[in-house]
Amino acid sequence: MAKKSVDNTSKPAQVENDKTTKLEEFVADSTGQQLTTNHGVKISDDQNSLKAGDRGATLLEDFILREKITHFDHERIPERVVHARGSAAHGVFKVYEDMSEVTRAAFLCDPGTETPVFVRFSTVAGSRGSTDLARDVRGFAVKFYTQEGNFDLVGNNMPVFFIQDAIKFPDLIHAVKPEPDNEMPQAASAHDTFWDFISLLPESAHMIMWAMSDRALPRSYRMMEGFGVHTFRFVNASGVASFVKFHWKPLLGVHSVAWDEAQNISGKDPDFHRRDLWDAIEAGAFPEWELGVQIIPEEDEFKFDFDLLDSTKLIPEELVPVQRIGKMTLNRNPDNFFAETEQVAYHIGHVVPGIDFTNDPLLQGRLFSYTDTQLIRLGGPNFHEIPINRPVISVHNNQRDGHMRQTINRGKTSYGPNAIAANDPQQTTAANGGFTSYNERIDARKIRARSKSFLDHFSQAKLFFDSQSDPEKNHLIDALCFELGKVKMVPIRERMLGVLAHIDKGLAAAVAYSLGLHVPEIPLAELNGSVPADADPADYASEKKEGPLAKSEALSMANTIKDSIVTRKIAILAADGVDGKSLSTVKDALVAKGAVVHIIAPKLGEIISAEDQHIQVDESFLTAASVLYDAVYVPGGTNSVASLEAEANAVHFLNEAFKHCKAIAADDAAIQVLEAGYFHKKLPAEYSAETVLREGIIVSDDLSTLTDLFAQMIAMHRFWDREVPRKIPA
């Protein structure tokens, strides 16, 4: 059989750090190697099993066949019970300035230290093979391999959560996962059990606003914020503590796609986010985030009209500004998905000296769950020895044995105190880096209850809604119409409308109209989820306080950074006879600004320009779709324009790009292609810079002005005002 040659050399040089260098020891590269069994015996025939004669039965003796099949039979491990679908990358973190005034965490005190990180992004509800574009919260888990051990910041892309107490987590997840009788729907919250639960749990109101907003449909993992959610503690070397909320701020801004687009992407490319992250890193366009902190001195604990320990609340940035203290850069893709991304084990309890917990009851429950879940998922207590989970510093303790133990602990002692080994391994003083828990004063009775300070479920839900731009509000209303429209039991829809009315009456009315229902009046006093059997329900009635802010700018994505087209994907629609200059001027200018430009033609291979140039085609109309691009350009050229105008897929591409509010540009000579679309009546009457930047469409024969304005339009991301009124049947 002919030997196939595989080019392993075309990958860009890998970026190394302390952790990736340590991983090298475990990397196997088969280039130029001979095939062996797991026990190192060379294999001469990997095509045929051992048989009793030419057409005889296979022999049990065939240890090569048995080993291969047995290993294969055991390849799968349980997927994560939540956050099963995810993608990860390596990178580094550096603090900007010494933070020792507030924390003794060494990696936050030395701007010269580069800390390796491994970051996994995920959806929550879907299984491992589900679509990336589900309407869902996104996980944002960061493992810092610090010189004082691993610190895991296991956060989400939304700053609050559905529930206040960990004891409700299994209920929440059972409600959102596919229904147990028929395992439907996959990776979706639009079904009866989820909304049944949510409509009975008013503490979820704030998070529901986030989950129904465009934040649940990120354009890219690289364009989402991250949040630690809980209030944590920083502790400095003198033992002085302050409260801290963690944020990740993406340098490309926070951007989302439209719901109709998300649903289409789920069919055209369910790996959209995974591919986007992978491709950006392979291309050297390394994603970056700044680490932000909101620091609250201990004495200000009760200064707010919400409880800092309540994970359904955020601290508005207007009340406590976010200080940007460092930068994280993801600069290397994993070598092996299973070994790294699947086996990485995050745990909110992995903290280093200088970072500590608070009594947030959601956080406290998580402290138990993460190690417990790894025991079943990764099969035993030695998962910390899996290469991706090992700290970069060495581990010494008296823990021993268990399934799949890798470490060969030398010596007679595995206990302390011991005299035989002079008490090694030794405890370390706090001054020498030993972890000491924050010396919090505790003076309390043991009770099972919810704090009264947790009962205002509606004021921040309202603050979030009120802070959205008009298009964002419309999307949120549409999302609720969709989700509740998929709920089959009418009483659930009605109850949810009653809850929404406490956030915003107009919002509830708009959703009710679409559902063909009236908004019922449910008094706040009756919205009292989580009532213990022996309690008076009145003690659990929801509250709605008058907060100090009418709006918070940071809550709206409309106010995000819109100044870059780096990694934006632009489609150029072309066919034989295209005006080569019209194509290359725009393409070259966009590529120079960091965009990724694809030429899409009726078929793959090459197109021949009017000037007889051969131009490589990246995708055909069959393999590409407008939902996979941020913007589209149509160059001139008589024959190309005539072909595209007659090509239904090209016209559909433009219609859909228009419907999803994307930047559209065309050479003046290609206007007919735009006019073949449904939106021709909406083409602007003139193309002044002002109109173009308002409407997101430019048609011009001045290619330099066109390119300039087109780039500005792409950076603006979307022209949501185009949705009103919506009349594009794409």
**Segment 289 to 348, residues that bind ligand HDE, using CB under 6 A:** 311, 345-346
Query: What is the spatial distance between Cα 132 and Cα 138, in angstroms, rounded to a whole number?
Result: 10
Q: How far is the CB of 344 from ligand HDE (least distance, A)?
A: 6
Cis peptide before 725 (omega within 30 of 0): yes
What type of residue is 562? K
Q: Based on CB atoms, which residue is closest to ligand HDE, 366 or 475?
A: 366
Query: Considering only residues 139, 316, 334, 677, which one is a binding residue for ligand HDE as defined by CB under 6 A?
Result: 139
Choosing from 135, 274, 350, 366, the residue that interacts with ligand HDE (CB under 6 A) is 366
Which residue in the set 130, 156, 542, 609 belongs to the binding site for ligand HDE (CB under 6 A)?
156
Site stretch for ligand HDE (CB under 6 A), options 149-157, 508-516, 518-526, 550-558? 149-157
Q: What distance lies between CA 506 and its chain's CA centroid?
A: 31
Count of residues touching ligand HDE (by CB under 6 A): 25
Please calculate the CA angle 565-571-575 and round it to the nearest 5 degrees.
150
Nearer to ligand HDE, 194 or 259 (CB): 194
Kindly tell me the burial class for residue 537, based on how many C-beta atoms sit within 10 Å of its own C-beta (0-12, 13-18, 19 or more): exposed
Of 288-296, 361-369, 623-631, 703-711, the window that binds ligand HDE (rule: CB under 6 A) is 361-369
Using rule CB under 6 A, residue 493 touches ligand HDE: no
At its nearest, how many Å lie between ligand HDE and the CB of residue 364? 8
Give me the least distance between CB of 119 and ligand HDE, in Å please. Answer: 9
Residue among 529, 635, 504 nearest 580 (CA): 635
Considering only 17, 86, 90, 479, the residue that binds ligand HDE (CB under 6 A) is 86
The residue range among 76-84, 293-301, 441-449, 485-493 that interacts with ligand HDE, by the rule CB under 6 A, is: 76-84
Nearer of residues 139 and 391 to ligand HDE, judged by Cβ: 139
Q: How far is the CB of 51 from ligand HDE (least distance, A)?
A: 45
Candidates 143-151, 183-191, 351-359, 365-373; binding stretch for ligand HDE (CB under 6 A): 365-373
678 assigned binding-site residue: no
349 binds ligand HDE (CB under 6 A): no
> In terms of DSSP H, where are the helices of 200-248?
205-212
Please report the sign of the dihedral spanned by the C-alpha atoms of residue 672, residue 673, residue 679, residue 685: negative
Q: Which residue is nearest to ligand HDE (CB)?
A: 139
Residue 482 φ then ψ, to 5°: -65, -55
CA distances from 356 to 101, 111, 157, 297, 363 (A): 15, 22, 22, 14, 11
Minimum Å distance from CB 640 to ligand HDE?
46
The reply, when asked if residue 120 is annotated as ligand binding, is: yes
Q: Is 390 annotated as a binding residue?
A: no
Q: Is 174 helix (H, G, I), strand (E, B) or coil?
A: helix
Q: How far is CA 188 from CA 276, 277, 416, 476, 495, in A?
A: 22, 23, 51, 16, 20
CB of 337 to ligand HDE, least distance (A): 13
List the one residue from 263, 373, 413, 613 that touches ligand HDE (CB under 6 A): 373
Encoding tokens for residue 283? 């291309």
According to the annotation, is 85 in a ligand binding site? Answer: no
The token duo for 617 is 């085609």
Kindly report the three-state secondary structure assignment for every residue of 508-552. Answer: HHHHHHHHCCCCCCCCHHHCCCCCCCCCCHHHHCCECCCCCCCCC
Nearest CA-CA partner of 284 in 566, 525, 698, 493? 566
The catalytic residue positions are 83, 156
- Interaction of residue 166 with ligand HDE, rule CB under 6 A: yes
Stretch that binds ligand HDE, among 369-377, 385-393, 583-591, 630-638 (CB under 6 A): 369-377
Applying CB under 6 A, among 278, 370, 435, 678 the residue interacting with ligand HDE is 370
The neighbour count for residue 478, using CB atoms within 10 Å, is: 18
**Contacts with 41 (C-beta within 8 Å, 6 or more apart), sequence order:** none
122 near ligand HDE, rule: CB under 6 A: yes
CA distances, 182 to each of 179, 483, 490 (Å): 6, 19, 20
Reported in sequence order, the residue ranges of 536-618 that DSSP labels E, i.e. its strands, are 569-573, 596-601, 606-608, 614-616
Q: Which of 90, 104, 120, 350 binds ligand HDE (CB under 6 A)?
A: 120
Kindly identify the residues of this chain, within the stretch 167-226, that bind ligand HDE according to CB under 6 A.
169
Please give the Cα distance from 633 to 570 (Å, whole number): 8
| From 27, 41, 81, 622, residue interacting with ligand HDE (rule: CB under 6 A) | 81
Residue whose C-alpha is closest to residue 574's, from 552, 541, 603, 546 = 603
Shortest Å distance, C-beta 81 to ligand HDE = 5
CB of 272 to ligand HDE, least distance (A): 18
The site string for ligand HDE over 40-59 (x = CB under 6 A, - otherwise) reads: --------------------
80 is in an annotated binding site: yes
169 assigned binding-site residue: yes
Alpha helices (H) along 326-469: 361-377, 459-467
- Residue 85 · residue 188 · CB < 8 Å: no
- Which of 157, 148, 95, 147 minimizes the C-alpha distance to 120? 157
Minimum Å gap between C-beta 435 and ligand HDE is 22
Does 229 bind ligand HDE (CB under 6 A)? Our answer is yes
Alpha-carbon torsion angle 258, 264, 270, 271, nearest 10: -50
Q: In this chain, which of 49, 369, 407, 585 binds ligand HDE, going by CB under 6 A?
A: 369
Closer Cβ to ligand HDE, 161 or 658, answer by number: 161
Structure letter (DSSP) for residue 675: H
Residues that bind ligand HDE (CB under 6 A): 80-83, 86, 120, 122, 139, 141, 154-156, 161, 166, 169, 229, 311, 345-346, 362, 365-366, 369-370, 373
Binding-site annotation, residues: 80, 120, 169, 366, 370, 377
Binding-site annotation, residues for heme: 80, 120, 169, 366, 370, 377
